Copies of this chain bind each other. A is one copy, B any other.
Amino acid sequence: MQEARLCAILEAALFAQAKPLALEQMQELFSIDENISRDSIEAALRQLQAFYQGRGVELVRIASGYRFQVPFSYAPWVSRLMEEKPQRYSRALLETLALIAYRQPVTRGDIEEIRGVAVSTQILRTLMERDWIRVAGHRDVPGRPALYVTTRQFLDSFQLTRLADLPPLSALRDLEQINAELELLDVGQETKTNDVDEVNDDE
């Protein structure tokens, strides 16, 4: 199959589907006779990505695969078309989500301990309804509290391919080094380990 034709078929498929397409799904579009390798699909995707550079749509790779999307820079015009105005998320919701994303799996108790306030059931419900978090199990302690983790949908929604792509957490500093650090003009504030690597993802 010619590369241009392969590109056009992938383009048609990616635009036809309202969900991201995984490489495997793209491969399944073709019959065995058509003999399309994974490599040639990836090459065609790269070509499409280059082709759409700077246009009103872009081809992005996220956790579940590839999808065409309208870039951020066109949101002002596109959102005028939308009947429902996109909602803003409360700080309580975002902080709860951040704690789940960076420290998963966590219980509600873990979140409350760090935030210093109660987590409303409504927030957890909203996050579940958005399919950003799910209960992955229960911690083996009295009461067996639910353990929350983020979903693939969460990664997709935030344009991430995996958890390691989350913005890095700022470092914790040690109080005992305070005097030394302050004297040394407060250097090295952001060079310590970040937690993101601890959160494994099974992509």
| Chain A residues engaging chain B, CB cutoff 8 angstroms | 7-18, 21, 25, 28-30, 54-57, 63, 68, 70-71, 74, 77-78, 80-82, 104-105, 134, 136-139, 147, 149-153, 155, 163, 194-203
Contacts and interface: CB of A to CB of B under 8 A. Distances in A.
B105 A74 contact: no
A29 B77 contact: yes
Nearest to A29: B77
Given A12-B70, A17-B81, A30-B77, A199 B152 contact: no
Contacts of A152: 200-203
B198 A199 contact: no
Nearest to A202: B200
A82 B24 CA distance: 15
Given A13-B77, A136-B198, A149-B198, 16 more contacts: A11-B55, A12-B70, A12-B78, A13-B74, A15-B56, A15-B70, A16-B74, A29-B80, A63-B200, A105-B197, A152-B201, A153-B201, A153-B203, A155-B200, A199-B201, A200-B203
A11 to B, nearest CB: 3
A195 B203 CA distance: 16
A152 B54 CA distance: 34
Contacts of A199: 104-105, 136, 149-150, 163, 199-202
Contact of A78 (B13, B68, B196): B13
4 cross-chain pairs, A with B, having the tightest CB-CB distances, nearest first: A11-B56, A12-B56, A137-B196, A151-B201
Nearest to A152: B201
Contact of A11 (B7, B57, B151): B57
A9 B54 CA distance: 11
Contacts of A202: 152, 198-200
Given A137-B196, A147-B196, A196-B136, A12 B201 contact: no
Contacts of A200: 63, 149-152, 155, 163, 197, 199, 201-203
